[in-house]
Amino acid sequence: MTDVIRLETPLTQDKVAMLKAGDNVLLSGIVYTARDAAHKKMVEALGRGEALPFDVKDQIIYFVGPAPAKEGQVIGSAGPTTSGRMDAYSPIMIGQGLTGMIGKGLRSEEVIEAMQEHGAVYFGAIGGAGALIAKRIVASEVIAYPELGPEAVRRIEVKDFPAIVIIDSQGNNLYETGKAKYRQA
C-alpha cells in the first residue's frame, strides 16, 4: 500500500500547499457536489452579480451526479464524472476562493493556471467505483437547484473518502508523470 494522508475540510491554503501530485488521501468533512448544469447556473448567477448558493471559500466541489438513493441509503452510487466538461467554469469558481475539486480525467491549461495563481488542488476519485464511494458518504442534502435532479447541488459529508492528488497547486500533474514513467513508446 502507498502511504495515506488523512485530510479534513475546509481545505485552507496551508493544507493546499502541503499536498503534492501523487499523494494518496482519505478525505473527511463537508464537500459540495455540482456537475455540468449546476456549474452553468452558478456562473450565470455570478454574471448577474448574484451570490452563489454556498460560500466556496476554502471549499471542495465534487463533480458527481449520484444515482437515486434506495431506502436506507444516504445516497446512491456516487463516483466522479469527467472533469473536463467543467473546465469552462472552474477558473471562475477558483477565482471565488474554491480550493479543491474532485473528479476524473484531464483538465485544461486555463484551469491549471488558475489553480497555481489562487492555490487549489485537483483530486481524482476512482471513476467507476460509485458503489464503493457511496459508502464513504455519511450525509447528503440538496441545497440548490433541486429541479436539476441528479445534477442538483448537494452538501455532503464524507468520511475517509479515497482520493489521489492529480494536480497540485504547483502545477505538477500525475497524469503526465505517471504516464511518462510507464510509457514504452
Partner 1 sequence: MKQIGVDEIVEGVEKICIGANYDLGEDVMQGLQKALQIESSPLGCEILEKLIENAQIAHNERVPMCQDTGMAVLFVELGQDVHVVGGTLTVALNEGVRRGYKKGYLRKSMVMDPFERVNTGDNTPAIIHYDIVAGDKLRITVAPKGIGSENMGSLKMCKPSEGLDGAMQFVVDTVDKAGSNPCPPIVVGVGVGGTMEKATFLAKKALIRSLGEANSDPRIAKIEQELLERINRLGIGPQGFGGTVTALAVHMEVFPTHIGGMPVAVNLNCHATRHQEIILEGSEA
**What's the one-letter identity of residue 66?**
P
Candidates 67, 74, 92, 143; binder of partner 1 (CB under 8 A) is: 67
Integer Cα distance of 10 and 104 in angstroms: 21
Q: Which of residues 72-101 bind partner 1 (CB under 8 A)?
A: 73, 76-79, 81-82, 84
Q: Hunting for cell 497555481 — which residue is that?
A: 116
Beta bridge mates, 157: 30, 139
* By the rule CB under 8 A, 124 interacts with partner 1: yes
Q: Which is nearer to partner 1, 83 or 118 (CB)?
A: 83
For residue 111, state whether it binds partner 1 (rule: CB under 8 A): no
Please give the residues from 21 up to 40 whose contact with partner 1 meets the rule CB under 8 A: 22, 24, 37
Catalytic option among 15, 35, 39, 136: 39
CA proximity to 65, closest of 156, 160, 167: 156
Cα separation, 133 vs 89, in Å, equals 25
Q: How far is the CB of 10 from partner 1 (least distance, A)?
A: 25
* Nearest to 172, CA basis, from 16, 26, 59, 57: 16
Examine residue 20 and tell whether it contacts partner 1 (CB under 8 A). no
39 is catalytic: yes
Dihedral of alpha carbons 113, 115, 116, 122, sign: negative
Q: Which is nearer to partner 1, 40 or 155 (CB)?
A: 40
In angstroms, the CA 176 to CA 39 distance is: 27
Active-site annotation, residues: 39
Footprint of partner 1 on this chain (CB under 8 A)?
Answer: 1-2, 22, 24, 37, 64-70, 73, 76-79, 81-82, 84, 104-106, 124, 126-132, 134-135, 149-150, 162, 164, 166, 174-175, 177-185
